[in-house]
Amino acid sequence: MGGREMTLEEVNCCACAKIPLLPGHPCQRARRQADKLRMRGTRSWKLSLEPFTPFSAVRAIFILFLFCVFVHPHSSIGLLLTPDPGFERNMALVSADSRIAELLGELHQLIKQTQEERSRSEHNLVNIQKTHERMQTENKISPYYRTKLRGLYTTAKADAEAECNILRKDLDKIAEIKSLLEERRIAAKIAGLYNDSEPPRKTMRRGVLMTLLQQSAMTLPLWIGKPGEKPPPLCGAIPASSDYVAKPGDKVAARVKAVDGDEQWILAEAVSYNHATNKYEVDDIDEEGKERHTLSRRRIIPLPQWKANPETDPEALFQKDQLVLALYPQTTCFYRALIHTPPQRPQDDYSVLFEDTSYADGYSPPLNVAQRYVVACKETKKK
């Protein structure tokens, strides 16, 4: 090919002079000539370089790309093209925050609709009350009042069903938000990111942990089924189905070996489940994230995910004198106990009698334990 002459200064300024070149590259020949002249101590050189073409420019850019990705991955281009797990986790957290904000906006609109529906139905309820007052004043039930009340009650029933449907949507939206918050907490835990309201477990004081456990029990959703609908598994005393697998972040009762060799039931958090070995990995809630146990399914009892309503679903509660495992107050360990009194209202706790040999009858005085932390005892024989 025809060529032009190029000084050493021009060669040094060439972008190709600072990157590795593939064999046969025109700049490589020029560089070898320049190196020979440098060794001779010559200060004036004339080098032969192929003329610039679009193809040579593309080839140089491609070589630079290969160098950044494979030879020097920590370069700016290499970092840009190499997947960063931390960056992906941060983006997932940002996406979760955005979705939570969106759901909160939808929940706000549903709450407004609930209030509007309630205000509209109140007018009809007032009319029913006034109609009954007129009937009492006249001391008779005329066909007119009978027809009027039938229409008013039909409207009131429809209004109540409409309000109930909106309330169910509210509850579903709250459940979705809580699920996303839990997923975000787990993702932040994996990424090592925490905010002020969720400090790392290694710095969590025991008093803070006890407060969080109480809040978890108080905010456990109440199961509200449709007419004739039975409570699902993990509602109150109803156990999980045989094929149920606890999700990461779910709280469970786990039977582990203590330091002294004895076995005890502890409050733990599910980390993962291996379907090949049928074993869980769980973290001890009270071990500040330092203790992880690998346990078989029979050593795990999932905790309730809904509270049972004593007024509508009493069969979903443990009954008096039934043997259970209950979380002892201000601890993270489950102990055998007898139900002393089941909850009478949705917000009530169980009253239980813990097995305790220091008392004459072998049981402690009645202590309150939330539905969240009472599960069926697999051991029926008294120790």
Q: Which tens digits make up the pLDDT trace of 112-123?
A: 999 988 888 898
Residue 351 has a CB neighbour count (10 Å cut-off) of: 17
- Give the mean pLDDT of 319-324: 96
Q: Is 26 exposed, middle or buried (0-12, 13-18, 19+ CB in 10 A)?
A: buried
CB-based contact 356:338 (threshold 8 Å): no
- To the question of pTM greater than 0.95 for the whole model, the response is no
C-alpha to C-alpha distance for 207 and 209, rounded to whole angstroms: 5
Distances (CA, A) of 380 to 96, 111, 336, 338, 383: 44, 47, 10, 11, 9
Given this model, what pLDDT does residue 226 score? 84
Distance CA 53, CA 135 (A): 102
- The pLDDT, as a whole number, for residue 378 is 79
pLDDT of residue 84: 53
Find the mean pLDDT for residues 277-296. Answer: 85
Alpha carbon distance 44, 128 (integer Å):
109
Whether 18 has a pLDDT exceeding 50, the answer reads no
Considering only residues 61 and 281, tell me which one the structure prediction assigns the higher pLDDT. 281
Dihedral sign of CA atoms 61, 64, 65, 66 in order: positive
Cβ–Cβ < 8 Å for 184, 100: yes
φ, ψ for residue 298, nearest 5 deg: -70, -10
pLDDT at 47: 41
346-351 average pLDDT score: 96
pLDDT, position 53: 56
Looking at residue 196, its pLDDT comes to: 46
Q: Tell me if 338 sits within 8 A of 322, measured CB to CB.
A: yes
Higher-scoring residue by pLDDT: 262, 281: 281
Checking if the pLDDT of 230 tops 80, the result is: yes
**Lookup: tokens for 161:** 């069903």
**261/282: higher pLDDT:** 282
Share of residues in the chain with pLDDT > 70 (%): 69
Asked whether residue 335 carries a pLDDT value surpassing 90, the answer given is: yes
Residues in the chain: 383
| Whole-number Å distance between alpha carbons of 213 and 76 | 46
User: Comparing 171 with 85, which gets the higher pLDDT?
Assistant: 171
CB 359 within 8 A of CB 334: no
Per the prediction, the chain carries an average pLDDT of: 79
**Among 75-79, 99-103, 125-129, which is the least confidently predicted range?**
75-79
